[in-house]
Amino acid sequence: MTDQLDAAFAALSDPTRRDLVARLAIGDATVGELAAPYDMTIQAISKHLNVLVAAGLVSKRPQAQRRLVHLETDALRRLTDWVEHYARLAEQRYRRLDDVLAALPENRAAAAPPLEGETS
């Protein structure tokens, strides 16, 4: 699992590959269709796609006379689950810290109303 995460995050570290993933989220496309908006060769786009394939983020599927590139949503879901897991842990830690800070004597004194005859 760690190797898959490492490969996926490494693949997504490149802005062109992130853009390809975003475009494939809309729908399957051929390499030529994916290459069209870029100022790079089809071979260069193919190399980017091969990195995404090796990371398990996309696959190439034959369809009639063409090969479509397909986004593997389960692979993205694994990345999302991993990020969300650690985001929840961090959020829990921050809530516990907030509770500890709220319980400190100086915070309770600041939050308590002044006693009769006491000035603030």
Same domain, 89 and 32: no
Same domain, 89 and 49: no
Same domain, 63 and 84: no
CA atoms of 78 and 46, how far apart (whole Å): 24
Tell me the pLDDT band of 106, cut-offs 50, 70 and 90: confident
Q: What is the mean pLDDT of residues 29-54?
A: 95
Same domain, 37 and 58: yes
Instruction: Give the pair of three-digit tokens for residue 15.
Output: 């802005």
Same domain, 50 and 79: no
Alpha-carbon dihedral angle through residues 7, 11, 12, 16, given to the nearest 10 degrees: -170
Q: What is the mean pLDDT of residues 89-115?
A: 77
- Helix orientation angle between 2-11 and 73-103, rounded to the nearest 10 degrees: 100
CATH of the domain at 26: 1.10.10.10
Question: Is 64 within the bounds of a domain?
Answer: yes
The residue that leads in pLDDT, 30 or 94, is 30
pTM of the model: 0.73
| 66: containing domain | 2-72
Task: Answer whether residue 112 shows pLDDT above 80.
Answer: no
CA atoms of 28 and 45, how far apart (whole Å): 15
Q: Which contiguous run of DSSP H or E holds residue 68?
A: strand 66-71
Domain count, the chain: 2
pLDDT of residue 74: 93
The mean predicted confidence, pLDDT, of the chain is 89
Among 4-13, 64-73, 82-91, 93-102, the minimum mean pLDDT is found in 93-102
